[in-house]
Chain A
Amino acid sequence: MFGLFKKNKSFTAKLADYDQEFIVEPGDSLLTGALKAGLPWPKRCQVGSCGTCKCKIIDGKTRAEIDFSYVLSPDELNDGYALACQTSLKSDISVAVNLID
């Protein structure tokens, strides 16, 4: 009901191009998990409106917490792109992102 009583389970996100991985705690977004792990993930608004935290989900199940179609193009949506600040994990995933140098 309304997402209030979900299973409390952590998942692992593996960064495809960096040979790094981090834990995403229950209730945290993919971006929050990355930031908690100290990763320099690009971010700006953190509410899903600017697209700065855009990444590509290569493998695994995620849930879009808001409608991404306002920010991402149809092609990007078809290619598996997501906004990390509004993405929760439903399984371990592999994700591609350009971290800040």
Chain B
Amino acid sequence: MMVGEDVITGVFDSGGRGYEVSYGFGIPSWKKVADHAIEGREDFKACVGKYDDKAEGADVLNFTYGPSTGGLTESIKFNIYTYGERILSLRPEPSYKDRKLQVSGSGLEMANLRIERYCGPLSPFYSGMLAAAVESVMGADQDNDLRLARVIMNEISRISDHIHVIAKLAEGASQNVAYNLLFALREKLLRLIARRFGHRYFFGINGFGGLVRSANFKGISSEVRAIVDEFRQIWIRLENSRIFIDRIQGTATLKRAWMVGPAARASGTHIDARMESSFLRYDDLDLHVSISSGADTLARTLVRVDEISESARIIERAESMIREVPVAGRTTKSEVNGEISVRAETPGGDSLMRVTLAKGIIEKIYIRPSSLQNLAVFAYAIRENLLTDFTFGYEGLGIHISELGGVL
């Protein structure tokens, strides 16, 4: 039996006729479920963003944090129930900034541009998923060089996101030299991306059947390696700081079968969509999956640190194999029909996309992003922690609020 085979990993509401549910972390398949009993399951709730949150009793104080406040980079509201300094319960409300991103009804190019802006910092993952879904429905064999190009873009993006998460943790722990150096390192990486791909967030690069503009992959791995080596130097100092480690060790501990990404791997679960993905294969890249066992913010950070080095190694290998990446046209004319589900391992973990195409138009789209599971992890894991642990529990999960908005 595979890890988490009976775990609900995606819920598609069929509009009053029950649900279509995806189980397990492998190649997605959907089952119709009319039984509303599944609504009580924790993994179901994690997929639809509902949490058991209320805490009542004498001296329980309920207050809100957000939706817009200096401590949050993106808008979200938290209802927090406390007893003294202890957090008893917490309910996130990410719907404030829900843009209700309209993708269905769009032609392929517009859908691609909008999906890039579904979550800007993760744009190569989502535009790559959409492109791969469409290419698959079209019946096109994926070009090997295009696959390697997408692997390189995704892994650079993963390094950038992981460095950002660790920088935010250092900022929270007032490790100001470390946090400044880490943010500088991320800036260096963004400048590298802009030089080689024309845009700091990979906008306008992923197309259908190729890249929309040519990108320069020659020597990219040595530039990335230099940044990762610099990161290691900063990390060696950071992991020797008791002030830093004390803030993240034993903070926001949780182990659940439905967890994804670094949170799952930090609790000893061996899952990574890169091992299973049918559309973006890593099987010739000797992917090593990082595992830790503490299930707390420290363990999640250690997984990310390992993954930064692993991503650099994958980029080196991919660059050595890449030849000529096909260039796609800016318009794609197609009359194809079909439905497909694809997965990708974003920096936060497994994300799932289901796309229905009708006459070359996106008829329906559903995304279950990793941030949805990670927000549920935060809501459950922060219980019985202190208010001062909030930052470390939240930032350590690398949640992107924009990912939590609806895609219509």
| A, B assembled together | no
CB within 8 Å of B: which residues of A?
Answer: none
